[in-house]
Amino acid sequence: MRTVEVPLPDRAYRITLAAGALGAADLLRPLVAHDTALLVTDEHVAPLHLARVQAGLDGVALRVLVLPAGEQHKSLASVERVWDALAAGGFDRDATLLALGGGVVGDSAGFAAASWQRGIAFAQLPTTLLAMVDSAVGGKTGINRASGKNAVGAFHQPRGVLIDVTTLATLDARELRAGLAEAIKCALAFDPALLDTLERDLDRLLAREVEACESVIARCCELKAAVVVADEREAGPRALLNLGHTFGHALERALGYGHWLHGEAVAAGLAMAARASRALGQLDAAEVGRIERLIARAGLPIAPPPELGRRELEPLFGADKKARGGQARFVVLRGLGRAEVVAGLPEAALAAAFERPPA
């Protein structure tokens, strides 16, 4: 078992990684604040993992809500279904909301918890690699709107995060690869040693080897926890976690939420940010090539689809929630493991971002 502490003042919690954790009563029960809980999951995850969690929570007054799966359901309609289930169950401020699934379930259920009776306890039980390395940690919750990705939400820290890496055995291969994009992001933004590990162990990660997966997930959680503790509400350095996301969010919105997975859009965004960083004189061609090769080896895109270019995507950058005064902000690299936020990009850097590397 591995643990990572998130020592926020008054809201400290623990991330626990353990094979078989979703069936372990001694790990599950402390996540429930009192003795009543609503568990929110989706139609893909429920048949695979719900029964184990229910068994581990024997003795808790537990209700279950199963939502439709997919990014297109990260919506107000889903949050309203959670609110309605809380109301129907008579859940008050002593209740706990448990989110079992990927980022869509975690973000939607977390936002419902943040807003139900002005905030109730919740815990994250992530079952996708992307949620394990990123979205389940840090207390960002929210939903998509036509105006942008995660346009409505709240900061609401969980009571805890319980990661059972064995759930990756049931994860669709495309979802697994998409999750690797967020791990690559962490390495590029903060930790060159993690980049070395990802390059060395990529085949083991794609084969879902438990030890390799737990090691990378734990390191990503450590990196993200340190950033969240330093800047919980993204007033400064936490914005560095958005490396690749200004490009990626525009891609998701232009394509329609759910057409590309979030991690696929982020992967293309990472490569675009790397090319922009080269044009700014902050990365050399060999470093950009290294980034593009790793992303491609993971089976992820390094450029937008052919039908989307600057004309389609550039107008969407200013609508990103990181924008200030209508001006887009981008995270670029000053070197491998060193990210920075810049307000806008000069013409040469934007042009470089949209270059299409030879096949």
Residue 37, number of CB atoms within 10 A of its CB: 26
Burial of 111 (0-12, 13-18, 19+ CB in 10 A): buried
| 32 contacts 57 by C-beta, under 8 angstroms | yes
Q: Is there a catalytic annotation at residue 259?
A: no
Rounded distance between C-alpha atoms, residue 25 and residue 158, angstroms: 18
> Of residues 208, 219, 249, 253, which has the active-site annotation?
249
Q: Is there a catalytic annotation at residue 234?
A: yes
Q: Which residues does 302 contact at the CB level (< 8 Å), separation at least 6? A: 267, 268, 271, 292, 295, 296, 357
Tell me the three state secondary structure of residue 38: strand
Q: Is there a catalytic annotation at residue 275?
A: no
Q: How far is CA 53 from the centre of its chain?
A: 22
> Of residues 118, 307, 311, 347, which has the active-site annotation?
118
Rounded distance between C-alpha atoms, residue 21 and residue 19, angstroms: 5
| Chain position carrying tokens 């969010």 | 249
> Of residues 49, 159, 208, 224, which has the active-site annotation?
224
Q: Is there a catalytic annotation at residue 49?
A: no
> Of residues 44, 49, 74, 238, which has the active-site annotation?
238
| DSSP codes joined into one string, 288-340 | HHHHHHHHHHTT--SS--TT--HHHHHHHHTTSTT-BTTB-EEEEEEETTEEE
Q: Is there a catalytic annotation at residue 150?
A: no
Q: Is there a catalytic annotation at residue 245?
A: yes
Q: Which helix or strand (DSSP H or E) is residue 215 part of? A: helix 210-230
> Of residues 52, 140, 219, 329, which has the active-site annotation?
140
- The CA–CA distances, whole Å, from 41 to 84, 109, 280, 324, 358 equal 15, 9, 44, 35, 41
> Of residues 175, 232, 234, 252, which has the active-site annotation?
234
Q: Is there a catalytic annotation at residue 307?
A: no
| 102 contacts 130 by C-beta, under 8 angstroms | yes
Q: Is there a catalytic annotation at residue 238?
A: yes
Pairing, β 13-17 against β 160-163: parallel
> Of residues 49, 245, 275, 329, which has the active-site annotation?
245
> Of residues 71, 182, 252, 340, which has the active-site annotation?
182
- The CA–CA distances, whole Å, from 235 to 154, 228, 323, 341, 352 equal 14, 11, 13, 12, 29
| 295 contacts 357 by C-beta, under 8 angstroms | no
Rounded distance between C-alpha atoms, residue 190 and residue 33, angstroms: 34
Q: Is there a catalytic annotation at residue 29?
A: no
Q: Is there a catalytic annotation at residue 224?
A: yes
> Of residues 159, 219, 242, 340, which has the active-site annotation?
242
Tell me the catalytic residues. 118, 140, 182, 224, 234, 238, 242, 245, 249, 262
